[in-house]
Structure formats: C-alpha cells, structure tokens
Amino acid sequence: MANMYNINGLSYNAQENPEWFTRAMFGGRLVSGGYIRVLTGIKGDELLNQIDLENKVLQIDGKDCGWTPNQVIKLSEKKAKVKTYKINLEQCIDELENKRTLYMMSPGAQNESLPPELEAATLALIAIGLSNEIEEMIMNGNETNDPNQFNGMVPTLLGSKDAIQIVGSTITKANVLAAVEAVYDAIPEEVLQGEESGTLYVFGSYATRRKIRSALADKNNQVIAASWTVDDTDKRNPRLYYLGVEFVPAKGIDNNTLVGIDSRNAYLLTDLLSDIDQIELGNFPKPNEDKLFIKGRLRLGFVIPFEDEAVIWSDSVKTAQSGTPADGGLQVFPNSIVFRAAGESKKFNIMTAVGVSPQVSGQSEGFKVTKGEATTVNGMSVTPVTVVATENTGNRDTRIGQVIVSLPDSDRTTTVVFSQRTSDIEEVTA
C-alpha cells in the first residue's frame, strides 16, 4: 500500500522545526455560499418528482353554462444519479524517521502520532482539496470521459436538448462584458424573477472575473459599465453584478464558458451534508498502531431539474439553441377554443423544438382537425392546426370535443378542448 506522504523532497539535514506551508489553495464556495442548493437523503439513483403547469389556466367563457375541464398540471419525474466515493489514506509513521521529520517526532522510539503541526496542516490540506474536487465536478464533471465523476453543470447543459445554448468564442477583455450581457438577455422571462430573490447567477471562471474587472476599469467601456455594480465590502473579493445578477467565479468551469442559472434549479445531491466535512484521522489497532489512517465516505451527484430554464454560452456550442418551450418541449396555444353555434374555423399553434413533428389524435364529432406545415420562429418549430366546427344551432347541449397533442418517442402530451354554443348572441353597443 502506498503511503500518503511522498517524502523524497525532504533533506537528511536536521533543521529547526518549521511550520508547514501549503500552496495558494482555497476551498470551493458554491455550496457554502448558497450558489447552488443541496438535496440530502439521496442514497443512489433516484427519481425526482416534478410538478409543473402544462397549459394555460384561463379559458374563454362561452356564456352558455358549458363545463370544459382542462388538464393544466403535469406530474413528471427526472432521474438523478448519485455515486459513492471514499477517502482511503495511510501512513507508516516510522517512515518519517528517514528524513528530518525525525526531529519533529515526539520523544521516544514509539511513533504513534504525527507531529501536531503536520497533522493540522494535513487535515486542512485534504479538506481544501476535497472541497475543490467537489466544486470542479459540480461545474465540469463528465462521467463519459471519467466514470469516477458525475455529470456536472456544463456537460449537462451542453448535452441537453432543452437548454438555451449560445455560440461563444474566446473570452477577452474586449468581449467579456458583451458575453455576460448575451447570457442575461437569453434568460427566460419567468426565470428573471430570481433577480428579486437574489437567486439568479452567472457562473464563469476566475480568469473571466479578472477580465471583467479589467474591462470595467477601462475608461473606454464606461457606457457599457454603467450596467455593472461592484460590492467591495470585501476589498479582497469584491462581488460583481450585471443588472443585479451576480457574477460568480467557480472552479472547474473553463475560461470560455458562462452559465446563467437560478440556484433553485441546481442541486448537489448527497446523503448527509455532514459527510462532506467528516474526515476521520486515527491509528490502526494494535499491533499496527504505528500506522495512521485518514478516511471518509460520501455520496455525490448533481442535477438540473429544469434544463430549459438554464443558459450556457460556450465556444463548444457550434449551433445556437434557443431552448425548447417550457413544459417538457411541448406547448400549445390556445389550449381551449370556443366556437359560434353557426360554425366557424379557428386555429391553435403547437410549439416544439426544431425538427420535432408533433402528433394530433382524437377527432371529435362535429369538429374537423387539420394539421398544417411547421415553420421556424425564434428558434422554435410552430405547427398550425386548423379546427372547423360544423353548425350546432338549435341543439339542446353545448358541443364538446378535444384532441390530444403528443411528441413522438415521448410520454409528453397535452389536451386542446373545444366547445360550441347552441345559439349565438349578437353583442349590441350603444
């Protein structure tokens, strides 16, 4: 078994006991800063319950006492994958006698503990390293490239058919402010409500933050920079805001990628949050008490429940994707139609991702439904459907019908309801 310390860098010469110095490292702060949420109690691959509106709540009232109940709420599920990780380290304390660390050991020939300074520095370093590894996987973990990782934010959004994707380029001082603005402009309107609660963020690298600060200091950018504010309460780590949305630097995200997302839509999955902080150091039982161990065990994963509400700007995006409509890539408007008793023709539109052909089924008596040719509008495919109602004058009851709109190879469906009056009332104006 390999010792956790590589002591080849130490000399044989006895010197005074120095403190232990580490490289310039600091732990990731996405979790501790509240920039993503933590979902606990996840022990393995689990299905997350989702509830969402799939249709408009309001309908046109035909003023004929007609009752046309509509399906407006969608219950669905999303698979969340969690992997189990462990920390297994050991050190034969006697090995430290081979170098000048001998002089740091406690008096006597029995070595049963590390020098206090070395123990404290070791645990601090491992905690920082663990925090960094977790943050790097949260942002850029890719189980396709490395089966030991879980899929993080960037690979998830780049591989998503629903996320809003913007063609990016190399980020420079000259274009960094415009890139952040492009991400902000692409955030869906309903997600922008996160501005009020302070839960909406734009993530980028530390190098990108440096370019932003440099661009804001450039006198040539002052017109653009007016949209930015700086909270320098912490002089060493000022916070940057574009129109109230904080730019958050994170470990693991590359220098040419930006992500706009609400923290309520980004979850670190784990069993117990305390598992991340519990790293145990101790001695093996006798007769191996001269061996130390460091161990830990935790479960980790990451999920974005609603990918259509997130924006990614990256040079890895070659073709822009405006995002599919909310509600799982299918949207219908209007979802209820009222017809005159005399009969008439009306239309509704089906919005899907480009290239997806929706299916319309369930013809109703008295209503002829014809699907038209799709066109591309604002990055979405819009398919018009014409509904022709025959005459219903003089009948006792309101005529009711409906069709089911669905996506191929998907359980995603929605319903369009028709109602037709038995008599027409002409509106009279003074």
Do 279 and 126 meet the contact criterion of CB atoms below 8 Å apart?
A: yes
Could you tell me how many residues make up the chain?
A: 430
pLDDT band at 17 (very low <50, low <70, confident <90, very high): very low
Do 371 and 360 meet the contact criterion of CB atoms below 8 Å apart?
A: yes
Check residue 315 and give its pLDDT: 93
Give the residue with greater pLDDT, 286 vs 135: 135
Check residue 147 and give its pLDDT: 84
Tell me the two tokens of residue 321.
Answer: 């994707």
CA-to-CA dists, residue 218 to 165, 171, 232, 244, 246, angstroms: 29, 16, 18, 21, 20
Question: How many Cβ atoms are within 10 Å of 323's Cβ, its own excluded?
Answer: 24
Quick check: helix, strand or coil at residue 399? strand
Given a cut of 80, whether residue 301 has pLDDT beyond it is yes
In the numeric block, the tokens 């232990």 are attached to 20
Task: Tell me the C-alpha distance between 205 and 187, whole Å.
Answer: 19
Which residues make beta-bridge pairs with 80? 46
Task: Tell me the C-alpha distance between 387 and 334, whole Å.
Answer: 12
Choose among 80, 25, 56: nearest CA to 301: 80
Check residue 288 and give its pLDDT: 64
Check residue 69 and give its pLDDT: 64
pLDDT digits (tens, 9 = 90+) for 33-52: 888 888 777 777 766 665 65
First-to-final CA distance of the chain: 95
Amino acid at 423: S
Tell me the two tokens of residue 38.
Answer: 């933590």
Check residue 385 and give its pLDDT: 94
* pTM, full prediction: 0.64
Region 104-115 average pLDDT: 47
pLDDT band at 149 (very low <50, low <70, confident <90, very high): confident
Which residues make beta-bridge pairs with 353? 380
Check residue 249 and give its pLDDT: 94
Could you give all domains of the chain from N- to C-terminal order, each with its CATH number? 37-43+81-314 (no CATH), 324-420 (2.60.40.1510)
Question: Residue 145 burial (CB < 10 Å; 0-12/13-18/19+)?
Answer: exposed
